[in-house]
Amino acid sequence: MTGSTSQSKSVSFWHETASALSIEGRALIDGKLVEAISGAQFDAISPIDGRVVASVAACDEADVNAAVASARRAFDEGRWKSKPPAERKAILQRFAELLRSHSDELASLVTLEMGKPISVSVAGDVNGAARCFGWYAESIDKIYDEIAPTGERDLAMITREPLGVVTAIVPWNFPLVTAAWKCAPALAMGNSVVLKPAEQSPLSAIRLGQIALEAGIPEGVLNVVPGYGHTAGKALACHMDVDGIFFTGSTATGRLLMEYSAKSNLKKVGLELGGKSPNIILSSYEDIETAASTAANTMFANQGEVCIAPSRLIVERAVLDQVKEVIAARAADWQPADPFDPETRMGALVNMKHANRVMDYVQRGADEGATLVTGGQRAREETGGAYVAPTVFADVTNDMTIAREEIFGPVLSVIAVDNAAEAVAVANDSPYGLAASVWSDNLTEAHLVAKSLRAGIVYVNCYDACDMTTPFGGYKQSGNGRDKSLHALNEYSELKTTWVRL
């Protein structure tokens, strides 16, 4: 079964698909769709035009308790963890196939709820999530445990076991992929999961849970509790019967989750947090057109709502004018347009509050002395949606607010430096350490800079290369865990030593 491509379908196809959606806003607990016990609901508002598209169960502590109890029962009864690996693999593979066959519906939900272009919802979210579940499905029956090299009369076995009940708390920017990056390795290891989607993007996550049931993942193994962070999210993170929190989101929330763990049962905490990623273009790199175009294209993709967005462009002065010229030209290709048009590259920001926050940063940039090269204004205001034009600031210094804080919108800061050593110093002068990049045709220079960059992911002569085989996560205040690759399985496991005296 192949996934659809958005480009093969017309804008009217996507509008019709979105209008025909039957949207589910209830929580999924113990295999059943349920309203919040309190009866509370909140509105899902589309940032495309400000319309209310659904009412969603506002889960709180009581619902979280029910979801955790269900997950624990499923775990203790061995409904999932005790299945032979080959059986779990087949079910997760079926799940991946079902996600692909529901691509139009899932992609429309993602675009409707958080405003990104439909092409990105198809390729990034749905196909990305399906690939992730398929990849971890394949891993399950290929991983062996270990025997330690002990003495002749001893047998020491090192085995990996699931943690138990884990919670995935995820953001709205890639609602399906961030959920998949947590749920897939967690399920592959045999854990039971409670997924808490962001309040801005609960609809695709609820559908994900329904499709998991259809694929044969037993009831209670994947529960979905929509709700606010300070209610549902906090209740999960403080719960005494949750064994691990796996979080993608802001550094501020990550800090709280560590506190909640410390004050409850010391549950394991895995954090994928924010970034302010440096992208260094050095004068030794000949193809400035490619380097600068990539800088713009990766900055403005997904409206800049990307944790690894290369938001600090650090450029050696010798090539600065050339880089700025290309960036300004490329930014023009990213004007916001109808998110359901498959040709659209930039959609709406997640909501009006976030668009206002981004515009406040634009004002701060101008106030602190940066030069606005392009953008800096709202777009498509007549639609009632949350659109901001692609924005580039030059003459930025690394102490300005727009160079230090994560904006999470389409705002690029260009910082000039004199040489590679200064570029590295500026790049590393940040509380974040998620991704970084260097463009250089000098092999030695490229390697030395890459080694010096304090970031979990370093690109050389590219940006945003991505594959399930490589770990994803940050240094410093960008977090402490790793998504993707076989390494992620360690996050969702306990290591047990069983020592047998022979």
Q: Which residues bind ligand NAD (CB under 6 A)?
A: 169-173, 178, 196, 198-199, 228-230, 233-234, 237, 248-250, 253, 256, 272-275, 307, 406, 408, 434, 474, 479
Alpha-carbon distance of 421 to 415, in angstroms, equals 14
Nearer to ligand NAD, 301 or 394 (CB): 301
- What is the closest distance, in whole angstroms, from the C-beta atom of residue 216 to ligand NAD in the complex? 27
Nearer to ligand NAD, 273 or 282 (CB): 273
Nearer to ligand NAD, 26 or 234 (CB): 234
The question of whether 272 is a catalytic residue gets the answer yes
- What is the closest distance, in whole angstroms, from the C-beta atom of residue 436 to ligand NAD in the complex? 14
Nearer to ligand NAD, 285 or 459 (CB): 459
The question of whether 307 is a catalytic residue gets the answer yes
Q: How far is CA 330 from CA 6, 249, 391, in A?
A: 22, 29, 11
Tokens standing for residue 208: 């994900």
Beta strand segments in 197-282, E = 222-224, 244-248, 268-272, 278-281
Nearer to ligand NAD, 332 or 465 (CB): 465
Nearer to ligand NAD, 117 or 229 (CB): 229
Tokens standing for residue 385: 């949606």
Nearer to ligand NAD, 231 or 283 (CB): 231
- Angle between the 103-114 and 175-189 helix axes, to the nearest 10 degrees? 120
Residue owning tokens 């994560």: 406
- What is the closest distance, in whole angstroms, from the C-beta atom of residue 100 to ligand NAD in the complex? 23
Nearer to ligand NAD, 139 or 311 (CB): 311
Alpha-carbon distance of 247 to 233, in angstroms, equals 10
- What is the closest distance, in whole angstroms, from the C-beta atom of residue 126 to ligand NAD in the complex? 17
Alpha-carbon distance of 255 to 272, in angstroms, equals 11
Alpha-carbon distance of 299 to 282, in angstroms, equals 18
Please give the DSSP secondary-structure letter assigned to residue 232.
Answer: I
Q: How far is CA 433 from CA 143, 218, 277, 313, 358, in A?
A: 30, 38, 7, 15, 22
Beta strand segments in 133-225, E = 146-147, 154-162, 165-169, 192-196, 222-224
327: three-class secondary structure by DSSP:
helix
270: three-class secondary structure by DSSP:
strand
- What φ, ψ does residue 225 adopt, rounded to 5°? -120, 100
- What is the closest distance, in whole angstroms, from the C-beta atom of residue 105 to ligand NAD in the complex? 22
- Among candidate residues 199, 238, 307, 406, the one labeled active-site is 307
Q: Which helix (H) or strand (E) holds 500?
A: strand 493-501
| CB neighbour list of residue 342: distance below 8 Å, 6 or more residues apart | 6, 7, 9, 10, 11, 14, 117, 118, 119
Half-sphere exposure of 158 (CA within 13 A, CB side): 8
Nearer to ligand NAD, 190 or 227 (CB): 227
- What is the closest distance, in whole angstroms, from the C-beta atom of residue 199 to ligand NAD in the complex? 5
- What is the closest distance, in whole angstroms, from the C-beta atom of residue 249 to ligand NAD in the complex? 3
Region for 490 from its dihedrals, namely left if φ exceeds 0, alpha if ψ lies in -120 to 50, beta otherwise: alpha
Q: How many residues does the chain have?
A: 502
- Angle between the 443-452 and 420-428 helix axes, to the nearest 10 degrees? 20
Nearer to ligand NAD, 126 or 237 (CB): 237
- Among candidate residues 105, 272, 406, 491, the one labeled active-site is 272
In DSSP terms, 472 is beta-bridged to: 483
Tokens standing for residue 251: 């550094």
3-state secondary structure 362-426: HHHHHHCCCEEEECCCEECHHHCCCEECCEEEECCCCCCHHHHCCCCCCEEEEEEECCHHHHHHH
State the pairing for strand pair 391-394/371-374: antiparallel
Tokens standing for residue 43: 């509105």
- What is the closest distance, in whole angstroms, from the C-beta atom of residue 303 to ligand NAD in the complex? 12
Tokens standing for residue 4: 């659809």
Neighbours of 104 (CB within 10 A): 21
- What is the closest distance, in whole angstroms, from the C-beta atom of residue 366 to ligand NAD in the complex? 23
- What is the closest distance, in whole angstroms, from the C-beta atom of residue 358 to ligand NAD in the complex? 12
**Catalytic residue positions, numbered:** 272, 307
